[in-house]
């Protein structure tokens, strides 16, 4: 089974306060409306509590690990306490390391950089580019791409076969998402971890879309590493996490060479230098750390934990069902899915609308209703192309992206929401979809810089 969906009978809570919840945006048809931020799969607004915690620390800003002064010492304590907070949030095991990075993408590129020579990586074509692309940058690492499964069990079976067919020696790594950034569907992480370990492979979990919606426990899921980004976890931009087993991290050359990663540096008689690198997390954290970003991630972890993931997820599932029920009432709308309509998912859904190009539809949602969604291929091109392979798009419409040679133009609309989303925003989105399909856009649009935008000449 996939990562378990939380019980829907838990007490339902109000949305968590987030920055930007009162922002007004203009409508092309006149007036203003409260902005409905329904693109949190790309970046979630910062929790108000996180922002307040960061603001409270800001006057005490100091250089981490580099000063004897009070503010430097305070900042160092804050930085290392944040590491402990994140480790607790992820259920890290004794001996696991929590390395702070810039993002999920940076975390997975770091892991790719420390892989032992001749490692074989197994990755489904359904992955986000952050977990699909880093591995081939290593000439001494082989990559096996697995076809998109159509059920969770098929995902496990596909991985089992691929691992059984590999050479019975050398290191292997499986990379898998916890929740799809396209469909929101939960993947069978625990079962995939069992399959990986049974064949002597390790597994890294891309939790960028899972961690903001669902508890992630390294020990319970039995994964070797977890990667995620702060800006999807209701923290400001600029920081991420790679957490898990220490051995490959300690044995590899530092991800970046510089201050902080080195324990000692000494000149040699021949004019060169000898370097002793740290074996702690500092080995891969060269340069002055992003203490603000790290503190923000830890504050978000604490805020979500104290709010109660079960309550937050129960409310989110209610919103998911409301959106799915509303879209089901529109025959022209097709919701994209790998595992079927009943598959458990977080608050992420992608769809296409018959007779509309998705870029045009997303532009109308924003300009005429103040609803912010995303359109395109969502940095998961192989997956979206698989899902849309037999789906027609209105050709030549405003903002329609050009397809690859010999390939039709494909794109979709994605709506995503979570702990900070008010009910009204979801209701407005569903109403807007129904009205646009029924009545069409009330404004003219044109293509500008590859994007569909309102045509100001029509005013």
Q: Which of 236, 244, 235, 246 is nearest to 206 (CA)?
A: 244
CA distance 328 to 111: 41
With b for 16 or more beta-carbon neighbours within 10 A and e for fewer, the 116-125 pattern comes to eeebbbbbbb
Catalytic residue status for 92:
no
Helical packing angle, 70-89 and 291-307, nearest 10°: 40
Q: Residue 39 contacts by C-beta under 8 Å, 6 or more apart in sequence? A: 372, 373, 374, 414, 415, 416
Helical packing angle, 48-57 and 291-307, nearest 10°: 140
Beta bridge partners of 342: none
Judge contact between 165 and 172, C-beta under 8 A: no
Residue 416: exposure state from Cβ atoms within 10 A (0-12, 13-18, ≥19): buried
CA distance 143 to 132: 10
Judge contact between 239 and 245, C-beta under 8 A: no
Question: In angstroms, what CA-CA distances link 277 with 209, 249, 271, 281?
Answer: 33, 12, 19, 11
Helix (H, G, I), strand (E, B) or coil at 90: coil
How many residues are present in the chain? 459
DSSP H helices, 102-182, are: 104-114, 129-132, 152-165
Q: Which of 301, 379, 398, 452 is catalytic?
A: 379
For every residue of 7-32, DSSP letters joined together read PTTSPP-PPPPBTTTT-EEE-TTSSE
Active site amino acids: 379
């Amino acid at each position: 089974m996939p990562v378990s969906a939380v019980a829907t009978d838990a007490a339902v809570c109000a949305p968590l306060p987030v920055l930007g919840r009162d922002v007004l945006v203009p409508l092309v048809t006149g007036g203003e409306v409260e902005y409905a931020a329904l693109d949190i799969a790309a970046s979630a607004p910062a929790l108000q509590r996180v922002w307040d915690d960061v603001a409270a620390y800001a006057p005490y800003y100091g250089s981490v690990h580099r000063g004897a002064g009070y503010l430097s010492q305070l900042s160092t304590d804050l930085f290392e306490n944040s590491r402990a907070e994140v480790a607790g949030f992820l259920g890290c095991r004794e001996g696991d390391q929590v390395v702070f990075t810039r993002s999920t993408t940076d975390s997975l590129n770091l892991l790719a950089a420390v892989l032992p020579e001749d490692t074989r990586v197994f990755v489904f074509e359904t992955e986000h580019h952050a977990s699909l692309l880093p591995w081939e940058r290593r000439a001494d690492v082989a990559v096996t791409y697995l076809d998109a499964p159509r059920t969770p069990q098929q995902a496990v079976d596909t991985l089992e076969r691929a691992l059984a067919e590999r050479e019975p020696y050398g290191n292997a790594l499986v990379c898998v998402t916890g929740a799809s950034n396209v469909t929101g569907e939960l993947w069978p992480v625990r079962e995939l971890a069992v399959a990986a370990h049974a064949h002597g492979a390790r597994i890294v979990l891309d939790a960028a879309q899972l961690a903001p919606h669902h508890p992630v426990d390294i020990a319970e899921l039995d994964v070797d590493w977890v990667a995620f980004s702060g800006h999807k976890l209701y923290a400001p931009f600029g920081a991420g996490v790679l957490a898990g087993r220490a051995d490959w991290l300690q044995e590899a050359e530092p991800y970046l060479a510089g201050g902080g990663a080195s324990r000692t540096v000494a000149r040699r008689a021949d004019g060169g230098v000898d370097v002793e690198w740290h074996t702690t997390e500092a080995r891969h954290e060269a340069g002055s750390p992003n203490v603000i970003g790290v503190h923000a991630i830890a504050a978000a972890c604490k805020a979500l934990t104290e709010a109660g993931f079960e309550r937050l997820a129960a409310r989110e599932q209610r919103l998911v069902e409301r959106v799915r029920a509303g879209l089901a009432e529109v025959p022209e709308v097709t919701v994209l899915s790998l595992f079927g309509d009943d598959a458990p998912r977080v608050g992420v859904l992608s769809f296409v609308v018959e007779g509309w190009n998705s870029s045009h539809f997303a532009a109308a949602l924003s300009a005429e209703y103040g609803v912010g969604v995303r359109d395109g291929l969502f940095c998961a091109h192989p997956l979206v192309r698989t899902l849309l392979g037999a789906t027609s798009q209105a050709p030549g419409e405003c903002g329609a992206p050009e397809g690859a040679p010999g390939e039709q133009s494909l794109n979709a609309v994605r709506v995503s929401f979570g702990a900070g989303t008010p009910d009204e925003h979801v209701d407005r989105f569903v109403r807007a979809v129904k009205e646009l399909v029924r009545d069409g856009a009330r404004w003219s649009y044109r293509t500008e810089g590859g994007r569909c935008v309102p045509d100001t000449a029509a005013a």
